[in-house]
Amino acid sequence: MLTEFQIAVLGGDARQLEIIRKLTELDAKVYLAGFEQLEQSFTGAVKEKLEELPFDELDAIILPVAGLQPTGEIETVFSSAPLRLTEEMLTRTPAHCVIFTGISPPVLTKLAEQTGKTLIRLFDRDDVAIYNSIPTAEGAVMMAIQHTDFTIHGSSVAVLGMGRVGMSVARTFKNLGANVRLGARKSEHLARAIEMGLTPFSIEQLPQEAETLDIVINTIPSRVITAPAIVKMKPNTLIIDLASKPGGTDFQFAKKRGIKAILALGLPGIVAPKTAGQVLAGVLAELLRKMDNRKGD
């Protein structure tokens, strides 16, 4: 149980609802800021204006998975009012107060450093990333169906990157009958591709592979789909870039060549917010239980 914990949930999307539900079930006192338009209510959770939160009593602050916007604002789909977390607000929190986020853009990292706050990036955890790779793969399938006029079965698909997301995406498309090629740099990743029944190739060979591809799915957070590869692609080739912003595709050149390239960010929150939220809620609850330096210690 999380009795006596006081936690602020600031903004976010439908994933946050599962987090709120879990925290209130564990008897935490939860403050919600940026949820004015949310009709749903939770026993043990109260809506407050951000500036009226009892920052001096908080044990944890939970931000949306994207952290803060470059402007410093907090993204929320349940409020039309601007929401901004300031240095003054964080300075008021107890020394043990922890900030949870999915990723940490520079503006958030700097704010945490300036105020001496512990910042926990949930998406850095292997368990969260692996769980999230499932709805990400399903989202990639959804996008492939929406933006092509051919079946995935029998199509030629290249997946770039053999990390946690790349592995799930490659396996999913293979199970749907696609001819999947796996582009990677490390020899162990190429070996794993063979073990999975995929056709491996070195990332540097993408220009040679590109001319026969129907779909290219990138998971590598660096520029890997460049002009030499794009210029070889068929006019109806679809690029789905799953890497974190700004992605790994030369989108400007792809547009110039008439190749559809989509930067698909936050697919878990789009295609399966309930499941994605439950994953985050479970990890958050476990981390909060392990906090041994919370208020009063």
pLDDT tens-digit map of 26-58? 999 999 999 999 988 899 999 999 999 999 999
Residue 295 belongs to some domain of the structure: no
Check whether residue 55 and residue 182 sit in a common domain: no
Sign of CA dihedral 217, 106, 91, 83: negative
Report yes or no: 223 and 247 within 8 Å, Cβ to Cβ.
no
Residue 210 belongs to some domain of the structure: yes
Check whether residue 116 and residue 135 sit in a common domain: no
Residue 244 belongs to some domain of the structure: yes
Q: What is the value of pTM for the model shown?
A: 0.87
Length of the chain: 297
Residue 1 belongs to some domain of the structure: no
Q: Which residue has the higher pLDDT, 71 or 90?
A: 90
Q: Give 178-244 as a DSSP string.
A: -EEEEEESSHHHHHHHHHTT-EEEEGGGHHHHHTT-SEEEE--SS--B-HHHHTTS-TT-EEEE-SS
Q: Is 120 exposed, middle or buried (0-12, 13-18, 19+ CB in 10 A)?
A: middle
Q: For residue 235, what pLDDT is reported?
A: 96
The upper half-sphere exposure of residue 234, i.e. CA atoms within 13 Å in the direction of its Cβ, equals 13
Whichever domain contains 240, its CATH number is: 3.40.50.720
Check whether residue 113 and residue 227 sit in a common domain: no
Report yes or no: 159 and 180 within 8 Å, Cβ to Cβ.
yes
Residue 294 belongs to some domain of the structure: no
pLDDT at 10 over 90: yes
pLDDT digits (tens, 9 = 90+) for 232-251: 999 999 999 999 889 999 99
Check whether residue 231 and residue 177 sit in a common domain: yes
Residue 154 belongs to some domain of the structure: yes
Check whether residue 232 and residue 142 sit in a common domain: yes
Check whether residue 117 and residue 132 sit in a common domain: no
Number of domains the chain contains: 2
Report yes or no: 7 and 42 within 8 Å, Cβ to Cβ.
no
Check whether residue 141 and residue 174 sit in a common domain: yes
pLDDT digits (tens, 9 = 90+) for 261-288: 999 998 999 999 999 999 999 999 999 9
H or E stretch covering 139: helix 126-146
Residue 297 belongs to some domain of the structure: no
Check whether residue 245 and residue 135 sit in a common domain: yes
Check whether residue 16 and residue 64 sit in a common domain: yes
pLDDT digits (tens, 9 = 90+) for 134-188: 999 999 999 999 999 999 999 999 999 999 999 999 999 999 999 999 999 999 9
Check whether residue 260 and residue 133 sit in a common domain: yes
Residues in a beta bridge with 281: none
Check whether residue 261 and residue 142 sit in a common domain: yes
Nearest to 133 by CA among 276, 288, 293: 276
Nearest to 23 by CA among 37, 9, 41, 39: 9
Residue 83 belongs to some domain of the structure: yes
Check whether residue 104 and residue 189 sit in a common domain: no
pLDDT at 292 over 60: no
Q: Which domain covers residue 228, as residue numbers?
A: 128-265
